[in-house]
Structure 1
């Protein structure tokens, strides 16, 4: 053509009885089939792409499922007969709320596309994290005729992220929150106390005579003791509370949602601290080694989000040393 592009023609030649310059004349009939050939090529390419290793789903404008590829069936465990004609919403896991889907569809209406993480449900019932792209297909009038979704399984990536998070925020020996996560939880507890006009408490817990077990029975026995103490402390607190390990033989407990009345809050905190001491003082079985231990607890209360965390940590630490000086296996309240 005049733009230098190539065109494809379909032709038919027919010989005539008429002679021109002694040669038999031929008539050639041709029509431009470039667009038809290109459309056929596009359909073949689309068919190959649709049966790629990436899971794909096509629905109509009312989100009724029209087509799914084999990768999709393998991923979610359905047959085509079980999916065709059903609403895409039947694949929802229940993990996302209505606001999530409302925002998703608003993005598709506004931009024609949405991309993000969705948890869907396999046929067998387990949940699967998928990186999903949903694209709206429009006709010449601009009306949506179909939606095309592509999905990739990101389970392994999520697992790696969780492993990295665990390393970053949890103690490797006891699996308790470490100092970094403890400070986040304490900051949250301070904000909750201020918002709800409640008290909270910070407890420093130190294992009495911990050096002795390491010296007499080795570090493995000491590690076993710390693991069992971590388990016991976790069982005496409430679900909203946090038990963390700072390192060595030092543990910290954050108590939330204590009474608005200071005296009652102090009593609640002391009761939980007393349960912790009783639990720590029970006999231990360290892989056949019978062992007896105890702990010393320093306690400080808070009720304002403006309270400095460093000050609180220092107060609880000082109270813990007061408990040790008082003979160990006891509780000391800061300021008392």
Structure 2
């Protein structure tokens, strides 16, 4: 069925064809009647007597009856022709009425659709046809095509068949103002509609069809959206109002109402002069109007009078707007409270130059204040001083107690330190656990200035050392304080900061809770360290590092039981550099990871060579830095080298110092467990000199304890057994660990260790560290000859 407007509901019949059929039927009736009577007359004449009277009567009878039949047929034909003409006239009028009705419906702006009791469309007017059918011609519009194009009001979901307005109406529901949407296939735009439905009842009272009207509300929805957008744009966090050309206020936003103290209904309809301030003269307003009329906008400082009659400075922007509809001019006025703006600017400056946690000046403001202090000292000739206070192991507080407690600790620290600060001085937070104090014009004499700075440092130190009660925790911390004095002449801010950094490093080297003053010779040490650092990088590239091995001896049988790999650096100009000097530098600048990887790779390669040469392989121990083991990539490096060289992990022993366990114990514990799972031996080096909390022995599986050589030395110095060494050996054996005495230099020390039950020993008494070639020869003979 075609639902185009030009072919819908065409019920007109063909009247001319009916007339032609009637004429043809009448002609056949005439001929039939004539033949019937002629045959009857002929038959009766042949089978009956042929008297003249009888023949005359018979003929007369047939003529009368035949004429009557023909007359009846003629009468019936005339009546039928009349009925046909009457019906044709009625149908023509009905068709004309339908065409007229269709024309009217096709000119209706709303879509009109008629559906039968099955929900099948019977009629669509032109508007509905174009709503549901694309512009491309189609022979018909099927139900699925209609249904699949109908979405909910938001256009996000295709309506189910049961949700369509015609189906809802067929189910007895009242459909009034149902909002839905379509998509125009040509423009890909969403069309919003309001649907209403009305049932069509037959004469018998039964439902015969449903009429659904569709009202296009796309434009109104767009206008409504634009109005909401305009309203929301007007309600910005900026004071705004609109006046007409005469200055009568038409609209105000909430921000302006709040700023002035007036309610919106008190302003709308009032003259804008209600806001005029006596701060400006009449000439000011006259010039403003002239600028608006000539340029269409004005901007500048404008004072406004509030409802409480107080005057406040504003930065105003006035724009002239002319509407197209009524050609009337309006003025849009936007204002910013300069007091609020100044306050916000000051707050932003404060945030930019102050620490958020403590409220103290930050490093940026500190450097500016130090510049001022240097200039002040240069003018007056009076020395100033800078104190750098660093909380020892502050990172441990963060890791163990959390950032919340750490931040609270910093706040309380700042409050304590401020009590010893003069109004003229500056206390700032310069780092994560660092505070810096600038002392202006301390003394004219260098010694007095230094002593005064030290006195303040001692007060800081005392205040910091007192316990902090934070929530349910009692926190104890210590500090390392660096001091640098200056006279403001021939020195820069950067130089002072460098002096502090150098002095702070020296203070940390002395140990925790120390105070250190800057001396010029410190700079030469720093320069030497920088030189060593650069040379170290070159040495790694040019293979200037090598390995030496110090044997370990089984105390019971005197045989070679292991060795410790020691890195050596032969500098091209300076010769061999003591590892105790360059290793700390490598740990500080990050080169320790490359050095550690070099040692591990060299040891694994050497073990692989010994295995292929048929030599006896013994465990080789490697010193692992705390910097290495607390990084996840250390495990990856170990696994990669083991896989590359094919060495059995059982021949590797990693020595970790007790002090390393203090730094991120959780991470180190996880790393050690991973190493142990592979079969690598784990030893604690310098046991007894570092970490005092021995609970880690219950949490980490340790294979060996190395007794620090300071305890071995006391064996002969005190001429008696060392209770510490004896305790360490007993402790180790109780935990199922073996022990190694390091730094054995005399026979007496060795004998003492043997009496105490120590398992292994190493030191110059047996053998000094030797090169790879010499150690390879030692592997051929397990019995080590003791040094004389």
Normalised by the shorter chain, which TM-score bucket? 0.5 to 0.7
- Tell me which of 272, 278, 286 is aligned to 1:56: 278
Q: Does 2:449 correspond to 1:265?
A: yes
The aligned counterpart of 1:185 is 369
The answer to whether the Cα contact below 8 Å between 1:55 and 1:152 also exists between their aligned partners in 2 is: no
Give the secondary-structure state (helix, strand or coil) at the position aligned to 1:74: coil
Which fold has the larger relative contact order, with Cα–Cα distance below 8 Å and residues 6 or more apart in sequence?
A: 1
The separation in 1 between residues aligned to 2:400 and 2:391, in whole angstroms, is: 16
Matching of residue 195 in structure 1 with residue 386 in structure 2: no
- Determine the structure 1 residue equivalent to 2:409: 225
Deviation at 1:58, TM superposition (A): 6.7
Tell me, yes or no, if structure 1 residue 283 matches structure 2 residue 467.
Answer: yes
8 A contact 1:50–1:56 mirrored in 2:
no
The CA deviation at 1:186 is 0.3
Q: Take 2:480 and 2:393, find their aligned partners in 1: how far apart are those partners?
A: 10
Indicate conservation of the 8 Å contact 2:388/2:434, yes or no: yes
- How high is the TM-score relative to the length of structure 1? 0.58
Instruction: Give the distance between the partners of 2:482 and 2:450, measured in 1 at CA.
Output: 13
State yes or no: 1:295 paired with 2:479.
yes
Structure whose residues are more often helix by fraction: 2
Deviation of residue 188 (structure 1)? 0.3
User: Partners in 2 of 1:70 and 1:155 — Cα distance?
Assistant: 12
Q: How does 1:156-195 map to 2 (within 5 A)?
A: 156-195=340-379
The reply on whether 1:74 has 2:308 as its aligned counterpart is: yes
- Is the CA contact 1:56–1:72 (under 8 Å) kept in the aligned structure 2? no
Q: Secondary structure at the match of 1:316?
A: helix
Distance change >3 Å, CA 75–CA 199, structure 1 → 2: farther
Structure whose CA Rg is larger = 2
SS of match in other structure, 1:175: coil
Q: What residue number does 2:498 align with?
A: 314
Match of 1:81 in 2: none
Q: CA deviation at 1:154?
A: 2.4
Structure 2 unaligned blocks of 5 or more: 1-245, 248-269, 282-302, 317-334, 521-788
CA contact (8 A) 2:480 2:512 kept: yes
Structure 1 position 277, deviation (Å): 0.8
**Is 1:248 matched with 2:471?**
no
In structure 1, distance between residues paired with 2:336 and 2:408: 42
TM superposition shift of 1:50: 4.0
Q: Is the 8 Å Cα contact of residues 461 and 513 (structure 2) preserved in structure 1?
A: yes
TM-score, normalised with respect to structure 2: 0.26
SS of match in other structure, 1:245: strand
Give runs of aligned pairs for residues 37-56 of structure 1, distance below 5 A: 48=271, 50-52=273-275, 54-56=276-278
Q: Is the 8 A contact 2:315 2:338 kept in 1?
A: no
Q: Secondary structure at the match of 1:239?
A: coil
Alignment RMSD? 3.0
The one-character-per-residue Cα deviations of 1:137-161 (angstroms, maximum 9, x if unpaired) are xxxxxxxxxxxxxx98522112211
Query: Equivalent residue of 2:395, what SS?
Result: helix
Query: What is the aligned residue count?
Result: 216
Partner of 1:279, secondary structure, is: helix
In structure 2, what is the Cα distance between the partners aligned to 1:328 and 1:162? 40
What 5-or-longer segments of structure 1 have no aligned partner? 1-43, 60-68, 78-128, 134-150
1:308 Cα deviation from its structure 2 partner: 1.4
Alpha-carbon offset, residue 48 of structure 1: 4.9
Structure 1 position 167, deviation (Å) = 2.0
Asked if the contact 2:427/2:436 (under 8 Å) is kept, the reply is: yes
Q: Decide whether the 8 Å contact of 2:480 with 2:507 is kept in 1.
A: yes
- Determine if contact 2:304/2:314 at 8 Å carries over to the other structure: no
Deviation at 1:317, TM superposition (A): 1.5
Q: Deviations over 1:82-140 (max 9, x none)?
A: xxxxxxxxxxxxxxxxxxxxxxxxxxxxxxxxxxxxxxxxxxxxxxx84699xxxxxxx
Among 207, 213, 218, the alignment partner of 2:391 is: 207
1:170-208 deviation line (CA, Å, top 9, x unaligned): 111111111111110000000111111111111111101
Contact 1:298 1:333 in 2 (8 A): yes
Separation of aligned partners in 1, 2:481 and 2:337: 48
Q: 1:313 to 1:72 in 2, by over 3 A?
A: same
> Is the contact made by 1:57 and 1:72 (CA closer than 8 Å) also made in structure 2?
no
Q: How far is 1:302 from its partner?
A: 0.5
User: Secondary structure at the residue paired with 1:328?
Assistant: coil
Query: C-alpha separation between the residues in 1 aligned to 2:462 and 2:428?
Result: 19
Matches within 5 A, 1:91-110: none
User: Are the counterparts in 2 of residues 207 and 296 from structure 1 also a CA contact under 8 Å?
Assistant: yes
Q: CA deviation at 1:215?
A: 2.4
Q: How far apart in 1 are the matches of 2:402 and 2:512? A: 23
Retained in 2: the 8 A contact 1:55–1:75? no
Q: Is the 8 A contact 1:242 1:253 kept in 2?
A: yes
CA separation of 1:130 and 1:256: change in aligned 2, threshold 3 A: farther
CA shift for structure 1 position 305: 4.5
In 2, the alpha carbon distance for the partners of 1:72 and 1:57 equals 13
Asked if the contact 2:428/2:436 (under 8 Å) is kept, the reply is yes
Partner Cα distance (2:379, 2:483) in 1: 22
CA contact (8 A) 2:304 2:313 kept: no
The CA distance in 1 between the partners of 2:408 and 2:375, in whole Å, is 35
